[in-house]
Structure 1
Amino acid sequence: MPWREKSPVDLRVQFISEYLADRFTMTALAAQYGISRKTAYKWVARYDAAGPAALGDRSRRPHQHPAATAPALVEALLRVRRRHPQWGAKKLLALGRRQQPDAAWPSRSTVCDLLQRHGLIVPRRRRRPVPHGSHRLAPLTGPNVTWTTDFKGEFRTGDRAYCYPLTLRDGFSRYVLRCDALLSRTTAETRRCFARAFAAYGLPERIRSDNGSPFAGPGLGRLSRLNVWWMRLGIVPERTGLGRPDQNGSHEQFHRVLKAETTRPPARTARAQQERFRTFCREYNGIRPHEALDNQPPATVYQPSPRALPARVPALVYPGHWEVRRVDSNGCIAWGGAPLFLTEVLDGESVALEAVDDGVWTLHFASVSLGRVHDRTRTITALPPAQHP
């Protein structure tokens, strides 16, 4: 049987027992246990004050710390976090410093520890990265270079009606241009929302979307009627790769925040849901710090486009050496003495063909090249996607 080891607490209990038996002087008892008389009297005093429970070790942590965060600042950080559960330490500190620049705000790691202690951090499962191809998009170099758009997943409002949120942002500044609670995903409703955005903010150079309706179609160049309208206004449609939501990652992240702060639970009606979206967008654009913008809100970076929405859609003008054809209601053009099918979404529009080789032509609509027309086989082949540096 092994020898039983005694803990310091057991030795203190034994020391107090012998002291209470009154068989030894304090000097002799202290020498027997290898402690000073001062330490011996300390443990006796603690025992007299609180009994055996006082014989355990006490924390050496100071009751006060000169570098501790002021309680008022702690409460301010927790209050904003509870109001915005999606905001991390950087955003909380950026907002706090903007509102109280002279306060002694803690470091980011201290704020993370503070949120952890108060149960305000929920760990997220990390997903394994998936390798993708080399489909590249134009860089976001300034406001109105690229707008990003998408439909957030539909949901039912309290009255059981479906709501289809359409969102539109400036890719560079993250400024939310539109967030509309639509009742359907039709081209007509979507176009009305874009028309309001163009009237308020001008025209971008391009609009980035996924490959779903109404942003893309199944035919030539994956054109949709919405694309055709954009292109007539001088806007280039830009689509992410198939199965590549990460190429519009900032917009996808925006949707996660929008869902968390406005749809859990949904509003009672679409009108009430729209009011939630408006309130969210005002705060998102004017108050919420963004790390990509040096923790400034989007409104400090975004400015409207100098290209205004024209009163009438301008006519298309092509170089004089190109062959211009008009698309009929069946989606065909007259070419080589016979109809050549393009796509029905170009009904009534003018396209142009540029000779690039013997019997090979590049098909253009507005400023976009749609494919190669081969006279010998009377086929149209797709062009590779543009590669931006």
Structure 2
Amino acid sequence: MPFCEVSAMAQKREFVMFALNEGANVRELCRRFGISPTTGYKWIERYQAEGLAGLTERSRRPHSSPQRTAWQVEAKVLEVRDKSNNVWGGRKIKGALEKDSELEIPAASTITAILRRHERLTEAGAAQHPGPWQRFERETPNELWQMDFKGHFAIHSGRCHPLTTLDDHSRFNLVLSACGNEQGRTVRGELEIAFRHYGLPLAMLMDGGPPWSDPGGELYTVFSVWLLRLGIRVLHGRPRHPQTQGKEERFHRTLKAEVISGRSFGDLADCQRAFDQWRPRYNHERPHEALDMATPAERYRPSPRCFPEVLPAIEYGPGDKVRKVDSDGFISFRNRPWRIGKAFRGELVALRSTDQDGLFSVHYCSHRIATLDLRSTDREACGLVDNAKPCPQGPHPKQQQKQPVSS
């Protein structure tokens, strides 16, 4: 993947941090980042010897600053504050400055006093702590990604719909794209780029709105079926419970405060440039209080599950009863049509018997997607378990014209 001019330094930094993780496959990382192994090992060597300065074409940083004066420390504090769009407080600025070993870092309370002295922080603008809460996070990176659209906002040429994706364990931002719509095709294109770069997660969490869910009540969409085909479990938050995706909600607040608020954007490209400039700061420089003031990049590593450019054929077990979903979302089983959903049109599903007589589970690839209940005699309720439903008013019209497939 060629580096764009805006994010070349950020891409180099991500590469060396991932490559220095224990057990990292450097050659696989080189393939994902679109560089040769020679270039990759050169960056690692320079980074180990010189740190981030070794990744720049020409370093302008002094080799040492042994006699920093008070005004220089204050200037650095104000510089970090300015980069955050005047949002960061004393603790975050201290955490960011601690990564620069050349500075004698003052206490967080001192930094707060510096901000007040320069009229960068007022009591009226200070946010009140919401009180104690309990955080939940997955144990390892790529166990769960959260994805959502931030509320769209006006630009000169229309509206921008920011698409964001976070790793649940590390809060590492994987996708930050300025989109012109919220359609499944748009989301899929952005995710393919992320999957090629970072690998595949085990599961993804989304809310209940489109394009993740069907507004007509279908449990799956064409987009979610694509994720299932890749071996990614699809999860949805409860309706009217945004706290289920609390990390995404918090990230959107940060994005709005540090990038969007107080700025005017001409078009989507203008928005994307601002996102690309800010994203490395969020991932690599901005300390996160939920991570004990570590940065997301310090806790993230790419997934070992590579994105398949060509999907392998679906294979089921010898004891499975395989059916193909027709163009209306139906399969035929035991001389009856069962509605699986139009999102699965043309796909093969497998039916497996359970330990309960008359109850069959329906699987797509490695995922159980529905359950068929043959025991009920009420055609309105028969089989209404998960996503599978019998035709409520007799056989499906197309099924009347052909012999149903029996088991």
With normalisation by structure 2, the TM-score equals: 0.69
Counterpart contact for 1:140–1:146, Cα < 8 Å? yes
Q: 1:127 Cα deviation (Å)?
A: 6.4
Distance 2:90 2:236 in 1: 34
Q: 1:270 Cα deviation (Å)?
A: 0.9
Q: Does 1:175 align with 2:176?
A: no
Q: How does 1:273-288 map to 2 (within 5 A)?
A: 273-288=271-286
Q: Relative to structure 2, which stretch is displaced further, 206-215 or 76-85?
A: 76-85
Counterpart contact for 2:165–2:173, Cα < 8 Å? yes
Distance 1:219 1:336 in 2: 28
Q: Any idea what the Cα deviations from partners look like across 1:246-268, whole Å, max 9, x if unmatched?
A: 12212111111111222222311
Q: Any idea what the Cα deviations from partners look like across 1:276-298, whole Å, max 9, x if unmatched?
A: 11111122122222233342322
The match for 1:341 among 339, 342, 359 is 339
- Judged with a 3 Å threshold, the aligned counterparts in structure 2 of structure 1 residues 219 and 339 are, in CA distance, closer, same or farther, namely farther
Q: Any idea what the Cα deviations from partners look like across 1:268-322, whole Å, max 9, x if unmatched?
A: 1111111111111122122222233342322333222111111212222333323
Distance 2:126 2:91 in 1: 17
The unaligned stretches of length 5 or more in structure 2 are 1-68, 377-381, 388-407
Q: Any idea what the Cα deviations from partners look like across 1:63-103, whole Å, max 9, x if unmatched?
A: xxxxxx93432332233223312222221001112124551
Q: 1:221 Cα deviation (Å)?
A: 6.8
Distance 1:100 1:336 in 2: 72
Q: CA RMSD in A?
A: 2.6
* 2:99 paired residue number: 98
Structure 1 segments of 4 or more deviating over 4 A?
A: 125-130, 218-221
Q: Does 1:254 align with 2:251?
A: yes
Counterpart contact for 2:331–2:339, Cα < 8 Å? yes
The unaligned stretches of length 5 or more in structure 1 are 1-68, 131-135, 384-389
Aligned residue type for 1:110 = T
* 1:305 paired residue number: 303
Q: How does 1:174-253 map to 2 (within 5 A)?
A: 174-218=171-215, 222-253=219-250
Q: How many residues align?
A: 308
* 1:367 paired residue number: 366
* 1:74 paired residue number: 74
Percent identity between matched residues is 33
Distance 2:213 2:353 in 1: 27
- Judged with a 3 Å threshold, the aligned counterparts in structure 2 of structure 1 residues 353 and 283 are, in CA distance, closer, same or farther, namely same
Distance 2:241 2:132 in 1: 12
Q: How does 1:43-192 map to 2 (within 5 A)?
A: 70-84=70-84, 85-101=86-102, 103=104, 105-117=105-117, 118-121=119-122, 122-124=125-127, 139-159=137-157, 161-192=158-189
Distance 1:83 1:218 in 2: 41
Counterpart contact for 1:221–1:382, Cα < 8 Å? no
Q: Relative to structure 2, which stretch is displaced further, 371-380 or 307-316?
A: 371-380
Q: Relative to structure 2, which stretch is displaced further, 188-197 or 85-94?
A: 85-94
Distance 1:289 1:127 in 2: 19
Counterpart contact for 1:221–1:371, Cα < 8 Å? no
With normalisation by structure 1, the TM-score equals: 0.72
